[in-house]
Structure 1
């Protein structure tokens, strides 16, 4: 039971992190100095690369 809860929680965290990385790859910062460099694996999620 505890293992099942841990697996479900882990899947939810991974899913949320993936969605946020994808959203970050497809958006820009409104400020000139605010956008950090993206890792290559996140750059591959960009819609313009498809």
Structure 2
């Protein structure tokens, strides 16, 4: 819920860097990305 609220606020205040900095405080670690090679469904063309 905190991330969703932060996203909505960030979209609303996209042109206000000071507000964006305040919004992003306390959100914790960002979502981890995917490993493209290990998560590949098919190996053709590799």
User: Structure 1 length as normaliser, TM-score?
Assistant: 0.28
Per residue, is there more helix in 1 or in 2? 1
User: Structure 2 length as normaliser, TM-score?
Assistant: 0.30
